[in-house]
């Protein structure tokens, strides 16, 4: 009955999946639900990764970051900060000083800014994101915080060129889920080879992904993205885990996985 509206809602697969329903009317939410259910199933992992990358590089990703700024206050702070309290305790027992913290997929920069206020002993906080537009926004938004650096780059390429030891790497609320399994394993291998490193990953998983019996990556969600067996991949790269837990997340039936790793 509203073909023009339907075309607008479904002009891009990832935009449709990530559309902020709080700003939509009831009819738009119902249309979105029907359109998401009709999305063509994709099995080609490389194609999925390409589509996801194209979205996160685009200005549509910037729109999403601005629409979800409240998630930092309502979601991240009450549900995720416990793992950084554990990281703080873990750092006390480390004889080396960790000088750099790198956030992969920094988005709107709120998490990196929070981390810079929590870990005063760390000198540099680098936020990497595919969206050059969002990076420029972050540079202006956090211009008063001299500890923060924002870089528009592919994290895999940036770490290969600029990564160094005595660094902490962070991914928050869904970043590694867009790596194909082989590339993620290689990425973790590279980080492990930098020298002394630590990694905190907060990543979603499909609720039916049993890590004990299913070591390989699975597709999940309507984007779709990748449900990785994070304990398996980190251990394969030479890391040991100082934390692993999972929580049921309000968004559908997904699980949120929390990983703390060190080499």
pLDDT tens for 183-234 read: 999 999 999 999 999 999 999 999 999 999 999 999 887 778 899 999 999 9
Cβ atoms 98, 166 nearer than 8 A: yes
- Residue 197 pairs with which residues in a beta bridge? 167
Residue 39 has pLDDT above 90, yes or no: no
In the chain, pLDDT over 70 holds for what percent of residues? 83
> Is 232 strand, coil or helix?
helix
CATH of the domain spanning 70-262: 3.40.50.150
> In which band, very low, low, confident or very high, does the pLDDT at 23 lie, cut at 50, 70 and 90?
low
pTM metric for this prediction = 0.84
Please report, for the chain, the start and end positions of each structural domain, with discontinuous segments joined by +: 1-40, 70-262
Q: Give the DSSP per-residue string, 34-95.
A: HHHHTPPP---HHHHHHHHHHHHHSHHHHHHHHHTTHHIIIIIHHHHTHHHHHHHHHHHT-S
Indicate whether 19 pLDDT > 60: no
How are beta strands 225-227 and 148-152 bridged, if at all? unpaired
Taking CA atoms, 24 is separated from 3, 20, 50, 114, 185, in Å, by: 17, 7, 28, 30, 39
List, for residues 91-145, the tens digit of each pLDDT value: 998 888 999 999 999 999 999 999 999 999 999 999 999 999 999 999 999 999 9
* Residue count of the chain: 263
Asked if 105 and 134 touch (Cβ cutoff 8 Å), the reply is no
Cβ contact 203:175 at 8 Å: yes
Give the integer Cα–Cα distance in Å for 130 and 151.
8
Cα within 13 Å of Cα(69), Cβ side = 10
| Stronger pLDDT, 233 or 7, i.e. the higher one | 233
Q: CA-CA distances (angstroms) from residue 45 to 49, 168, 222, 255?
A: 6, 28, 13, 21
Whole-number percent of the chain with pLDDT over 90: 64
pLDDT in tens, 72-100: 998 899 999 999 999 999 999 888 899 99
pLDDT at 65 over 70: no
Q: Say if strands 167-172 and 197-205 run parallel, antiparallel, or are unpaired.
A: parallel
In the chain, where does DSSP find H-type helix?
3-9, 13-18, 26-37, 45-57, 59-67, 70-71, 77-80, 82-92, 110-118, 132-141, 155-162, 181-192, 230-236
């Amino acid at each position: 009955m509203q073909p023009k509206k339907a075309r607008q809602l479904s002009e891009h697969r990832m935009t449709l999946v990530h559309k902020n329903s709080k700003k939509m009317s009831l009819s738009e939410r119902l249309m979105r639900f029907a359109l998401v259910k009709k999305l063509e199933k994709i099995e080609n992992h490389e194609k999925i990764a390409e589509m996801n990358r194209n979205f996160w590089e685009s200005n549509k990703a910037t729109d999403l970051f601005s629409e979800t700024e409240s998630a930092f206050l309502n979601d991240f702070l009450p549900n995720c900060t416990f793992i950084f309290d554990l990281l703080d305790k873990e750092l006390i027992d480390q004889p080396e000083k960790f000088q750099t913290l790198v956030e992969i997929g920094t988005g709107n920069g709120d998490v990196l800014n929070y981390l810079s206020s929590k870990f005063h002993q760390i000198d540099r906080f680098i936020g990497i994101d595919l969206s050059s537009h969002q990076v420029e926004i972050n540079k202006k938004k956090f211009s008063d915080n001299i500890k923060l650096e924002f870089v528009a780059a592919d994290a895999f390429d940036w770490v290969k060129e600029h990564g160094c030891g005595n660094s902490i790497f962070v991914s928050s609320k869904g970043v590694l889920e867009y790596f194909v399994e082989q590339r993620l394993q290689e990425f973790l291998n590279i980080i492990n080879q930098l020298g002394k490193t630590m990694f905190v990953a907060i990543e979603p998983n499909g609720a039916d992904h049993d890590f004990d019996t299913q070591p390989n990556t699975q597709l999940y969600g309507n984007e779709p993205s990748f449900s990785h067996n994070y304990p398996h991949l980190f251990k394969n790269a030479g890391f040991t885990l100082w934390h692993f837990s999972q929580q049921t997340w309000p968004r559908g039936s997904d699980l949120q996985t929390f990983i703390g790793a060190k080499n």
